[in-house]
Amino acid sequence: MTYKIRNSIALGALVLLVIGIGSYITMFYQPRKIVQYTKEAAKISTQLQDNSIQLAAISEMQNQLRETLHRWNNRIKEIGQSDVSAETYGYLSDIIDKSGGQQLRMNMSLAGRKENGATGFNIYKLTGTSEFLNIFRFLWLLENGRKLYKVNTITVHSDEVVSDTSEYPNIKLTYDMEINGYFTTEVALGNKVMRPDSTPQPVTANPFQPSVLRATPTNVRKLLNAESISIIATAKGKALVMINDGRILTLKVGDEVFLGRVTAINPQDGSIEFTLNDGGIIRTVKRSIEFDNKEKGQ
């Protein structure tokens, strides 16, 4: 065998070996490695995703913890380990004094008690009569005070109270409310808190004030009653009238009378017009000179 043939055979064998090794690597080894690395990458990606979920959950819990601590450190309510009627009465008495102790009268009675594990509450019945402003302030101070009380139910009835010393009747409210006074075995909830420094907003309207009063206002200032006068004479802008006791008075347009004012004087027909506000009902009253129609000698 010549040298040239041996080299050709050796070169051919080398080429076949390279082709075989290359084919094995390309067709078998690399695909297996790719599959292996793909699985490992997916596994790592899943682990990273799980870590992201866990980190998000941890972040959310940390936010909740910060919010809880903030609310705890800034709480304005305290719950004692017991709710004694005498202490509750003293606490409510302080609120009553701030709500207008001279006008707010209240009767309190213990109506029941409920317990649910570590917490519970006593049920109190409060009844009385007062004005809207005092009841409003009492409820506001009760809801915004240091101790935890809840107004469970409240029923209010209004009534007009006429007084000889007041021109218009007072609107008195008879109320019947039920409140819950809470207590707990959690000692930490009874820690003292700062008293709120806010005050109730001024009340500009009374929802219980009727548009029309049932009773006619009282003539406390003893003003002239337009319906009980006798007209003697009228002139431009003036009139002479006689009242029940025989006195003669002069009236002008714009003068105040009981429930209203003089709005017109008519010399042509000898009349006076009054505009009156009878507890919310506006009406016009016209009084004229009463001429004697009897013939002379009769």
Whole-model pTM: value is 0.60
Please, which pLDDT band fits residue 297 given cuts at 50, 70 and 90?
Answer: very low
Same domain, 11 and 90: no
pLDDT of residue 195: 64
- Residue-wise pLDDT for 146-168, tens only, equals 888 899 999 999 888 887 777 88
> Quick one: average pLDDT of 209-214?
84
Instruction: Give the domain-ending residue among 74, 107, 132.
Output: 74
294 — pLDDT class (breaks 50, 70, 90): very low
Query: Mean pLDDT over all residues of the chain?
Result: 82
Tell whether 197 is covered by a domain.
no
pLDDT of 105-141, one tens digit each?
778 888 999 988 888 999 999 998 888 888 888 888 8
34, 68: one domain: yes
| Angstrom distances, CA of residue 12 to CA of 135, 208, 236 | 112, 114, 145
Mean pLDDT of 218-232: 88
CA–CA separation, 223 and 274 (whole Å): 13
Measured CA distances, 30 to 44, 121, 131 (Å):
21, 75, 92
Task: Judge if 100 and 49 occupy the same domain.
Answer: no
Q: Is residue 234 part of a domain?
A: yes
Answer for the pair 143, 151: CB distance below 8 angstroms, yes or no: yes
Q: Do both 89 and 177 map to the same domain?
A: yes
Cα gap 90→42, rounded to integer Å: 70
Residue 213 lies in a domain: no
The Cα–Cα gap between 94 and 74 comes to 24
Question: Do residue 115 and residue 176 come from a single domain?
Answer: yes
Q: Give yes or no: residues 241 and 158 share one domain.
A: no
pLDDT for res 244: 85
Which string of DSSP letters, residue by residue, matches 65-117? HHHHHHHHHT---B--S---HHHHHHHHHHHHHHHHTTT-EEEEEEEEEEEET
Number of H helices, E strands in the chain: 4, 11
**Residue finishing a domain among 19, 42, 74:** 74
CATH number at residue 177: 3.30.70.60
pLDDT tens by residue, 56-78: 888 889 899 888 887 777 777 88
Is residue 296 a part of any domain in this protein?
no
Domain count, the chain: 3
Residue range of the domain that includes 11: 1-74
- Does residue 264 share a domain with residue 245? yes
**Residue 152 within a domain:** yes
pLDDT over 90 percentage in the chain: 19
